[in-house]
Amino acid sequence: MLSRTTRFITKHSLLQTSLNFPKFQFCTAATLPTVKNNSPPSLEEEPQFLDMVHQYFDLAGTLTEIPKDKLEIYKQCNTVLKVRLPLLRDNGKMEFIPAYRAQHKHHRLPVKGGTRYAESIDLQEVEALACLMTLKCAVVEIPYGGAKGGIQVDPSKYSTRELEDLTRRYTLELAKKGFMGAAVDVNAPDMGTSEREMAWMRDTYTVFYGHSDINAMACVTGKPVPQGGIRGRVEATGLGVFFAVREFLKRKEITQKFQIEGDGFQGKTLIVQVKGI
């Protein structure tokens, strides 16, 4: 039921907001941030990411006949985990680094979502991303619930040994608390992580739990191909953007609304923003 509901909500929300956004403007004069001297709102005035996700969810919910109490259940995150990971730095100093994992909905198992390493990550961000994962899986009928997690760290400031220690300790914390496993919660690469981190996670989980979990290697996706990964995973996200834009440009009602001339990519200039290069 949740899959069908979230698929309806997301599809109709995206369609209506792209074709007729002013009709569904949900901000009011009381909730809009005050703009002074034509300057953008401050960080204190800007809604948090989780608030933004919930606002759009509430907006889409008005297009359905689902009771508000049920929508509230669908919206909220089921389970969250916050831990602090001890790390002995190469310089001999100790750090305790926050780490998180959010499981949004368990209506279908396992839950599925990426693990990111970023200084900006916090609990509300992983809750928001986990909610979006539930909706994305429902839209394309993938039988998973949504999840998301990460470690509050800038990978560029830590050595390979330090990152490996953090990753392996994070894996153990997740597994001990029921936040990891092929039938429970499957991690994946995200911002700041790659198949290297997934290999560390897979290895750690398999060493400690492989004797009792025949599917231990499936505890993560995005692994190196020799370790059970699949070809095409690295470029999958970029290809998804390409296919989405290609389909977007086929919609005459959308291209005319935004005054985009011509069909497809031919004759158009694309701006690509890349972080970390």
Give the mean model confidence (pLDDT) for residues 241-267: 82
What pLDDT is attached to residue 44?
A: 61
- The mean-pLDDT minimum among 138-147, 155-164, 167-176, 268-277 falls in 268-277
Assign 228 a pLDDT band (cuts: 50, 70, 90): confident
Q: Tell me the three state secondary structure of residue 37.
A: coil
**Alpha carbon distance 173, 125 (integer Å):** 20
More confident residue, 139 or 169: 169
**Alpha carbon distance 181, 259 (integer Å):** 48
Mean of the per-residue pLDDT values of the chain: 82
Kind and range of the H or E run holding 96? strand 94-103
Within a 13 Å sphere around the CA of 232, how many CA atoms are in the beta-carbon half?
Answer: 3
State which of 28-32, 93-97, 231-235 shows the largest mean pLDDT. Answer: 93-97
Q: Would the pLDDT of 139 be above 50? A: yes
Assign 248 a pLDDT band (cuts: 50, 70, 90): confident
**Alpha carbon distance 138, 107 (integer Å):** 11
Which domains does the chain carry? 1-76 (no CATH), 78-234 (3.40.50.10860)
Give the mean model confidence (pLDDT) for residues 143-163: 95
**Cα-to-chain-centroid distance, residue 145:** 12
**Alpha carbon distance 250, 263 (integer Å):** 7
What pLDDT is attached to residue 165?
A: 96
Assign 149 a pLDDT band (cuts: 50, 70, 90): very high
Q: Which of 130, 75, 72 is nearest to 101 (CA)?
A: 130
Q: Given strand 94-103, what is the order of strands in its sheet? A: 79-88, 94-103, 145-151, 111-117, 185-189
Using an 8 Å Cβ cutoff, are 16 and 23 in contact? Answer: yes
Q: At what angle do helices 123-139 and 49-61 cross, to 10 degrees?
A: 40
What pLDDT is attached to residue 35?
A: 44
Give tens-digit pLDDT for 76-95.
Answer: 999 999 999 999 999 999 99
pTM of the model: 0.76
What pLDDT is attached to residue 265?
A: 78
More confident residue, 89 or 258: 89
Give the mean model confidence (pLDDT) for residues 26-51: 56
Using an 8 Å Cβ cutoff, are 113 and 145 in contact? Answer: no
The catalytically annotated residue of 70, 75, 93, 148 is: 148
Give the mean model confidence (pLDDT) for residues 5-32: 38
Q: Is 176 a catalytic residue?
A: no
Q: Would the pLDDT of 4 be above 50? A: no
Q: Would the pLDDT of 12 be above 90? A: no
CA distances to 243, 258, 260 from 248, in Å:
8, 11, 11
- The mean-pLDDT minimum among 37-46, 169-178, 224-233, 251-260 falls in 37-46
What pLDDT is attached to residue 250?
A: 84
